[in-house]
Amino acid sequence: MDSTDEREAGVPIAEMRPGCDRVAKDDLLAVEEPMEIRVAFGPSDTRTARSLSVTMRTPGNDFELAAGFLYTEGILKDRSQIEALDFCGPATPGRETSNIVRVDLAAGVELDLKSLERHFYTTSSCGICGKASLDAVQVKGIEPLQDGVPRFARDVVHELPDRLRAAQPVFDRTGGLHAAGLVTPDGDLVEIREDVGRHNAVDKLIGRRFLDGETPLGAFGMVVSGRASFEILQKALVAGIPVIVAVGAPSSLAVEMADRFGMTLIGFASGERFNLYAGANRIDG
């Protein structure tokens, strides 16, 4: 069984149920493949290409993922710094594109190679203490967000998880993807991205707006399908998103970050309740 959507893969399975024989059937799974991000910079005749990161992601919106990652990690500040994005290397079997994205920087944009040797925050077991993590964000020149804006009504917050879930087409078929959505204070879901990695979904979402030259995103909130980790808050902060609504729990470091930088952080959001961990001055009702 195959799928025409590159984000999905069909596999044969045996379904086991109590009191029944095993049933042979087909199942759809979310695709997970590695994607390498390479950055090329320097004079056109002596360009340096550097492999910067490899992430496990769901194929699709790969340019958004690469651009969003470079932006939310503080490597790039403005869309004008990117001259071109393209796939390089041999095509992945079954698809027309490869799993390598090359980002060519505009003339005059240089990278500090030494600073790029640091480990990116990609897992909760990165081994860096909380204070060092928060200080590292502040050292990048990130300032606290504008106090009290935008404002979200309590009823709108209650509706956001269902609105996000209703807009997840691949999750409906596979059950295996996280989602991140950009929302207005009125609760309109203006953009959504799905991926096997919650961080990738956020990078794709923010990357789309970055490539369109529409960052920072101070007029919006972001709703995420899973928990709210430090990494999610860091990426939202770099993009200037002041309100984060998570279906799951926040981590302690995420709450510390929200407090320090003036972000509104909501966890365990549903139609029945939500927990407000920081930034109550943006929630009405």
> What was the pLDDT predicted at 31?
82
Active site residues: 126
- What are the structure tokens assigned to 188, written together? 């309109």
222/220 Cα distance (integer angstroms): 7
User: Long-range contacts of range 73-77, CB-CB < 8 Å, 24 or more positions apart?
Assistant: 73/120, 73/238, 74/140, 74/142, 74/238, 75/39, 75/111, 75/116, 76/105
Q: Among residues of the chain, what percentage have pLDDT more than 70?
A: 87
Q: Which residue has better confidence, 159 or 73? A: 159
Q: Which residue has better confidence, 20 or 116? A: 20
Average pLDDT estimate for 25-54: 86
Q: Where are the domains of the chain?
A: 152-284
Q: Is 126 left (phi over 0), alpha (psi -120 to 50) or beta?
A: alpha
Is residue 43 very low, low, confident or very high in pLDDT (cuts 50, 70, 90)? Answer: confident
Work out the mean pLDDT of the chain and round it to a whole number.
Answer: 87
Average pLDDT estimate for 27-34: 81
190-232 pLDDT per residue, tens:
999 999 999 999 999 999 999 999 999 999 999 999 999 999 9
216 prior amide bond cis, ω within 30: yes
Q: How many CB atoms lie within 10 A of CB 35?
A: 22
Domain 152-284, CATH class in plain words: alpha beta
Q: Which residue has better confidence, 150 or 137? A: 150
